[in-house]
Each structure stands twice: as structure tokens, then as C-alpha cells.
Amino acid sequence: MAPETNIIDYETTAPTAGRLAPFDPKTPELLLDPYPMFHRYRACEPVHWGLSGLAGYAGAWYIFRHADAVAILRDNRFGKERRGVKFSSGGQRTPGSPAAPPIPEAAKPFFMTARNWVVHRDPPSHTRLRSLMNAAFTHRAVERMRPRVEEMVHMLLDRVADRGEMDFIADFAYPLPVLVITEMLGLPDEDRPRFERWSQDLQAIDLKTTEETWRQASHSIEEAKATLYDLIAERRCQPRDDLISDLVQLQGQGAEISDEELVANIFFLFFAGAGLETTVGFIGNGALALLQHPEQMSLLTKALVANDTSLMATAVDEMLRFESPVQMTNRTAFEDVEIGGQTIRSGDSVLVVLGATNRDPEAFPDPDRFDINRHQNRHHAFGLGPHYCLGAPLGRLEGEVAFRILLERLPNLALRADALPQWGNNAAIRSLKSLPVSF
């Protein structure tokens, strides 16, 4: 599951006075419970010009309504690249006149690599890279991981079985996708801690990123690239049954991808596209939703006891909708477009607030109710359109396997009364830092 966020602290004022204050993604209330605020903006200003944390922009259009999100995410007049965006040394920013402080010097190595990620490219480059990634990241490649994912889940639970309690994030939700994507890519076990550290340095990028954070992220991505160049050279000589070998083989057969693009996207798969940040959020957020709604957890447990796995698919979708790991995804307007009565000008930044669109009452009856039997569930947790998450099949598989085995082995799983869940500090990625549980 791929994060589509980013994120420097640039501020501006709203171009015109509205009924609501300019939406600010750094508002502390968004970290604890963003949904009341989302409901207010959706009801009053569903297409709203507010403050922006997006690198290179000082303001953005926020989209809070499901129908508007569908229109934008499927419209080729919006994309991920910054066509026509002008950077300046400062000044006021209004819709239609892209101007913002330049990207900090410390952040440039990160952005030079991240711009090659498939998630940040538009056709024809996106089409070229996406077809290559899809060729290696097939349904077969994902499904063949199912037995290993089951083994990994059991192994992680075996480690804590005698303790009677654990931090669900540190002991389970985080290590599981690390183990899965490391094996799928074919990364050496001895390199795993380094890839984890490099990934964590990138995950530290949030709406309040400092120059030191950018410097560390840039340093880590350069170290990761150096390691991956060596691994690619090794796989050319000695291919194995893993994703890196598959991608190298496709390149050798004439696939149009440079070594720089190949390295960047292999690291992207580890960092976000199929591995860590959003999958940790999905499994952790889903567990919290079940624990806070014991009647729903009981329904799912009873179905599994009866060997009925049909409820798991709808339960997974409801977890993704109810607490979407990716709360915001960005686009840039390539030409003037009217959405929801507002004219979005060419070059304007657009942030589709997935956390809000997935709780839109026009699309989801009683949207604040967690219902694992919800069948009409057209959520946007994996995005929509050409940038639909490449890692969605793997994320679903990990979730289905994890929750099935969890509920089978730990039927008395409960929140610890003496410790509270702790949310991360990035409003664009909704993920728990800690979830103390007992069993």
C-alpha cells in the first residue's frame, strides 16, 4: 500500500475569507480524532482553500466529499508531477499563482530519488514503470507468499505467547510487513535492520519536518541506494526467486527502466508501496477498531470458528474505510478545472482528504459506525484511478491472514486498561505508535 504524502511546513493565508478558518493539516486535533473536523468542512466547504504542508506549496485545495474525490482521482487533468509549478523565494500564495519557498537544500537528495517513484510519476512515465512493476508484482507472486505470511504470524505470536500482553504495534503490526517485504524482495537478512532504519528515517518526514530530519532522510536514502546498486549487480550474475531478480530480469529483457529508476522503486516497495508505513497503519488501526467494537470482533470470531471466512473480506474493507491509514493524497491541476463550484487553477495543489471521503454520509450510510457487514463499501483507502495502490493485494493478504490467526489464537485479546493507544504525529498518515493489549 502506497503513501502519497509529503511534507514541508510552509504557511500562507486564505485568499478570501470563508465560513471556516483555513484548514490546517498541522492542527493537533487531527491527530487524536480528525473526523468531527472533516465533517464540518465537508458540510460547509467541501472544496476548500487552506494551508498546506506539501513541499513546494504554501496553500492547497482540500477535497472532503466522496463524489469530488472520485472526479479528481479519475481525471487526467490532475496528476502527481508538478507541471507548470513555479518556485520563488517567498511571497503570498493564492490559487492559480503557484509560488512558494524552494525545497530546502537538505531535502534535495530525497526528492531527487523520490521523484522517480512510480507513485510520483504521470503517464507516459507512470504507465511504463507501472507495467514493469505489475509484471513482477503479480497475483501469483503475492499468493505464493500466503503460507509464509501464515508462518510469520505464528512466529510473532509464539514470541509473546507466554507474556500475556504485548505492544501490538512494536511486537506484531510493525515486524510482520517488514518480514514479508524483506523476503518477497529477497533482501539479505543481515541487511534488514539497515533497511528498517532507513525506512524509519523517511517515515519521520511529517507536516513539521525540520532541516535535520530532511538531512537524515536524504542521507539514509543515499545509503539505501548504494546497497541496492550492489544487490542489483549481484542478481544480474546470480538471479534468485525474488522480486529484485524478477525486476532485473525484465530490465535485461528490454524493459525500459534505468538503473536509477530501478533502485528508487525497489526502495519504494520496501518503504511504502507494499511494505511498511501504510500496512502497519492498516493492521494496527484495524485491531483498534475491533477492540473498541467488541460486538463486531465477536461476530468475526464466531464466523472463523465456524470455518466461514466470507466475513473477513468485508471486515478488512471496513477496517480500511473506518480508519484509513492514508488520510490525504496529493495531486496537481494541469489545467483550470471546476469542482464543487470552485475553479481550481492550473498549477494548484490539491489534497484529497481520504479520511473525510471515506466517512461521507452520501456514500456510506451511518459513516461513523464500524460495521464489518458493510457491503456497499467504495472506500478510497487504496486510492483510485491510475495511481491505485500497487501493494493493495499484498496488504489485503497480510490483513486477512493476520486477523484470522490473531482471533483464532488470541480470542480474549483486549485493550490494556492501564495504558492508552498512542497515535503518530503525522495527520496525513493515520497510524498508531503504540497499542498495549492483553490476552
> pLDDT digit string (tens) for 301-351?
999 999 998 899 999 999 999 999 999 999 999 999 999 999 999 989 999
Give the closest residue to 285 by CA, choosing from 325, 312, 326.
325
> What is the pLDDT, as a whole number, of residue 90?
34
Amino acid at 326: V
Q: Band the pLDDT of 91: cuts 50, 70, 90.
A: very low
Reduce the DSSP state of residue 204 to 3 states and report it. Answer: coil
Does residue 92 register a pLDDT over 80?
no
> What is the pLDDT, as a whole number, of residue 138?
79
* Separation between Cα atoms, residue 218 and residue 112, nearest integer Å: 9
The predicted model gives 238-242 an average pLDDT of 92
> What is the pLDDT, as a whole number, of residue 139?
80
The predicted model gives 235-242 an average pLDDT of 93
> What is the pLDDT, as a whole number, of residue 426?
85
Which residues neighbour 349 within 8 Å (Cβ) at sequence distance 6 or greater?
52, 54, 57, 59, 60, 61, 98, 330, 331, 332
Mean pLDDT of the chain, nearest integer = 87
> What is the pLDDT, as a whole number, of residue 16?
43
Question: How large a percentage of the chain has pLDDT more than 70?
Answer: 88
> pLDDT digit string (tens) for 347-393?
899 999 999 999 999 999 999 999 999 998 999 999 999 999 888 99
Q: What is the dihedral of CA 264, 197, 30, 343, to 10 degrees?
A: -10
> What is the pLDDT, as a whole number, of residue 112?
87
- DSSP string covering 45-68: -SEEEE-B-STT-S-EEEE--HHH
Strand runs (DSSP E) across 16-172, as ranges? Answer: 47-50, 60-63, 78-79, 165-167
438 CA to centre of own chain:
28
Which residues neighbour 221 within 8 Å (Cβ) at sequence distance 6 or greater?
109, 110, 113, 114, 198, 202, 267
> What is the pLDDT, as a whole number, of residue 391?
87
> What is the pLDDT, as a whole number, of residue 276?
63
> pLDDT digit string (tens) for 136-169?
777 888 888 999 999 999 999 999 999 999 999 9
Q: Is the peptide bond before 124 cis (omega within 30 degrees of 0)?
A: yes
The predicted model gives 129-142 an average pLDDT of 83
> pLDDT digit string (tens) for 180-211?
999 999 999 899 899 988 988 887 776 567 88
320-357 b/e (C-beta count within 10 Å ≥ 16 → b):
bbbbbbbbbbbbbbbeebebbebebbbbbbbbbbbbbb
> What is the pLDDT, as a whole number, of residue 111?
85
And the C-alpha cell for 61? 485545495
Burial of residue 417, with CB atoms counted within 10 A of its CB: 0-12 exposed, 13-18 middle, 19 or more buried: exposed
Reported for 364-370, long-range contacts at CB under 8 A and 24+ positions apart, including other chains, are: 364/66, 364/321, 368/35, 370/289, 370/292, 370/293, 370/296, 370/318, 370/322
Give the closest residue to 290 by CA, choosing from 412, 196, 178.
412
* Separation between Cα atoms, residue 57 and residue 41, nearest integer Å: 21
Side-chain half-sphere of 437: how many Cα atoms within 13 Å? 26
Q: Is the dihedral of CA 215, 218, 221, 222 positive or negative?
A: negative
Which residues neighbour 153 within 8 Å (Cβ) at sequence distance 6 or greater?
176, 401, 402, 405, 406
First to last CA, the chain: 29
> What is the pLDDT, as a whole number, of residue 10?
25
Which residues neighbour 4 within 8 Å (Cβ) at sequence distance 6 or greater?
80, 119, 326, 329, 330, 383, 387
Does residue 114 register a pLDDT over 50?
yes
* Separation between Cα atoms, residue 331 and residue 324, nearest integer Å: 18
* Separation between Cα atoms, residue 403 and residue 313, nearest integer Å: 11
Q: Band the pLDDT of 17: cuts 50, 70, 90.
A: very low
Q: Band the pLDDT of 14: cuts 50, 70, 90.
A: very low
